[in-house]
Chain A
Amino acid sequence: MSATGVILRRELGNYFSTPVAYVFIVIFLVLSGVFTFYLGGFYERGQADLQPFFTFHPWLYLFLIPALSMRLWAEERKAGTIELLMTLPVTIGEAVLGKFLAAWLFTGIALALTFPVWITVNYLGDPDNPVILLSYLGSFLMAGAYLAVGACISASTRNQVIAFVIAFVVCLVFVLAGFPMVMDVFQGWAPQALINAISGMSFLGHFEAITRGVIDLRDLIFFLSFIGCWLLANAIVVEIAKSD
């Protein structure tokens, strides 16, 4: 597994050696602040919690995370470095995991840098800190789910813009799963079991359950297994796509 660590290190170093890391972190922090205090009405609500902060995470991630994941594999394929990487003594699984973990760790860093919001709410009132911690965990898991989708789609193309757009659309489907926009497509012809399964895939549903402070193992397992499935698909796509 040490190869995973080496790849993780390189990928993470890559984020910070280019402006990507700084642009991403600054935009993430600014937007989450704007959403929390203006759109979310943090002060007006008069409640000591971070509900307005977390509510907007699924929407922030929707376009920020595909921007982070789009280069993971598409860039390797475009530059031909995938041939180098795949002829080093590394398994596809190690490479997929290393790249994913690097991106996930990076979003974790960005998320951790929102700590002033947490300090603010603790200064202003007496919030339920375990719920906030759980919400952070939920947000982190959800970011992983977005990333796993984005990484898999990035492996299927050598064009980063295409990787971004498709990852955005696929993530949007999962955010809105369970809402009429997505469900109407399936209603009427798909079997009820499939419809139930799709509505059960909703990021929003699982994330909101976690941020309410209800610890339901199923929500955590959902995100983890969702990540696992997409990473498996990622490995398969890399294997198939590398030959062209």
Chain B
Amino acid sequence: MLCCRQARKAPAAGPGFRAQDNKNSRCHGQTLRQPSMTGTTTETHPAIEVASLGKDFGAFTAVSDVSFQVRSGEVLGFLGPNGAGKSTTMKMITGFLSPTRGRIRVAGFDVAREPLEVKRRIGYLPEGAPAYGDMTAAAFLDFIARIRGYRGREKRERVATAIARANLGSVVHKAIETLSKGFKRRVGLAQAILHDPPILVMDEPTDGLDPNQKHEVRSLIREMARDKAILISTHILEEVDAICDRAIIIAHGALRFDGTPRRLAEMSALHNAVTISFEGEVPVAAEACLRGLNEVAEVVSGAGASHLTVLPANGASIVRQVTHLARDEGWQIEELFVETGQLDEVFRRITTRTGSAQGGVDR
């Protein structure tokens, strides 16, 4: 699934750019739709290009040095503990705050020099999805459409499409302040996608939603991912696995990881570990036998008395050896499975580690 989405590379905005089939496009070989809003240059820029970005608030450094790129057709998960500088970085990309250091280019435009060009091309869902509470959802979206320069029939169509895509149907004529959290978030989403922007920046789009709402928002994001560059901040790790092609992790204002979610999972000590669940008690000699295997680093008793987890050395695949051993020893095994690695463990390790050593930079 991951590789499929990654393969759907759409060209960065630019008139005259011929859409081309990507070599790797195993799942979607059709010609790609060109983003509706186009840049003025014919080169292909990364949709978002952040270079040595830094932001100080007085003596406090919120972001010290962050560089990354987002390409069109890519969903980049922006991870980090609360207060790591995720929101500040997004606010700088969208032109709300001006950086203290470094440079940001969006669709080839410098945010500091041509903020309006950038703002026209970005759909932004700020944290908490702020909206004018006394307006109805319909009036609010009408305002957004007008301020984005749509008039008449096109404006009505844009608003109607956004309402349909965000599934707002039943509440459009209610004041936004009376809506539930889930609907408020959808109003924010509708606002962000109204002009079908080539670049979407969303600050914790699923925060505080119930599991069904999370699922809906994620499907919507996945649906839109084909021809857009999407930057999503989150601290929910399952989300990265669910929707992102690539993840970056920042902590204490600096970049700590840049790679695929799979790469992140591989950094887990549990990656490729084998958990064995015995019928009844764990055989007395089992632990020692398993320790004796090549490439086994550690054997720990898992949850319950009948579980053992075998940790491999250096993430090697040990499942075959373990099954052979189990067969040879004649253990009564109820279940045996390979762990994929725990993201939150890796996350904790990466974000609490001191120093700025970058682990697993994989571009």
Contact = CB atoms under 8 A, between A and B. Distances in A.
Our verdict on whether A and B bind, yes or no, reads yes
Contacts of B147: 3, 6-7, 88-90
B94 interface: yes
Given A81-B132, A89-B116, 8 more contacts: A3-B147, A6-B143, A14-B135, A17-B134, A81-B130, A83-B130, A88-B148, A90-B119
A6 B146 contact: yes
B144 A88 contact: yes
Nearest to B88: A243
Contacts of B128: 80
A87 B148 CA distance: 11
25 contacts: A6-B143, A7-B147, A9-B146, A10-B143, A14-B134, A14-B135, A17-B135, A18-B134, A79-B130, A80-B126, A80-B128, A81-B130, A83-B96, A84-B124, A84-B130, A84-B131, A86-B95, A87-B94, A87-B124, A88-B119, A89-B116, A89-B120, A89-B148, A242-B97, A243-B57
Contacts of B135: 10, 13-14, 17
B24 to A, nearest CB: 34
A244 B57 CA distance: 9
B122 interface: yes
A1 to B, nearest CB: 12
B91 interface: yes
Interface of B: 57, 91, 94-97, 116, 119-120, 122, 124, 126-128, 130-135, 139, 143-144, 146-149, 191
B133 A84 contact: no
Interface string A36-75: 0000000000000000000000000000000000000000
Interface-central residue, A14, A87, A242, by most chain B CB under 10 Å = A87
Chain A interface size band reads: 20 to 34
Contact of B132 (A10, A89, A91, A244): A10
Nearest to A79: B130
A180 to B, nearest CB: 41
Interface in A104-155: none
A89 B119 CA distance: 5
A170 B127 CA distance: 35
B143 A87 contact: no
Contacts of A17: 134-135
Nearest to B203: A83
Contacts of B91: 83
Interface-central residue, B57, B95, B132, B144, by most chain A CB under 10 Å = B132
Contacts of A10: 132, 135, 143
A18 B131 CA distance: 16
A84 B201 CA distance: 12
A235 to B, nearest CB: 14
Contacts of A80: 126-128, 130
A206 B130 CA distance: 42
A222 B134 CA distance: 37
A3 B149 CA distance: 8
A87 B200 CA distance: 12
A120 B336 CA distance: 95
A84 B126 contact: yes
Nearest to A3: B147
Contacts of B95: 86-87
Contacts of B120: 89
Interface in A9-37: 9-10, 13-14, 17-18
B96 A87 contact: yes
Nearest to B98: A243
B36 to A, nearest CB: 15
Interface-central residue, B94, B96, B135, B139, by most chain A CB under 10 Å = B96
B191 A87 contact: no
B133 A87 contact: no
A81 B139 CA distance: 15
Contacts of A242: 96-97
B155 to A, nearest CB: 11
A83 B128 CA distance: 11
Contacts of B191: 84
A7 B132 CA distance: 12
Contacts of A83: 91, 96, 126, 130
Nearest to A98: B147
Contacts of B131: 81, 84
Contacts of B132: 10, 14, 79, 81
Contacts of A79: 130, 132-133
Given A2-B149, A17-B134, A87 B97 contact: no
A79 B130 CA distance: 7
B288 to A, nearest CB: 60
Contacts of A7: 147
A84 B191 CA distance: 10
Interface-central residue, A17, A80, A84, A91, by most chain B CB under 10 Å = A84
A243 B94 CA distance: 13
A83 B188 CA distance: 12
A88 B130 CA distance: 13
Nearest to B191: A84
5 tightest Cβ-Cβ pairs between the two chains A and B: A80-B130, A89-B119, A87-B94, A6-B146, A83-B126
Contacts of B146: 6, 9
A7 B148 CA distance: 11
Nearest to B119: A89
A10 B135 CA distance: 9
A14 B95 CA distance: 26
A243 B100 CA distance: 12
Contact of A91 (B116, B139, B144): B116
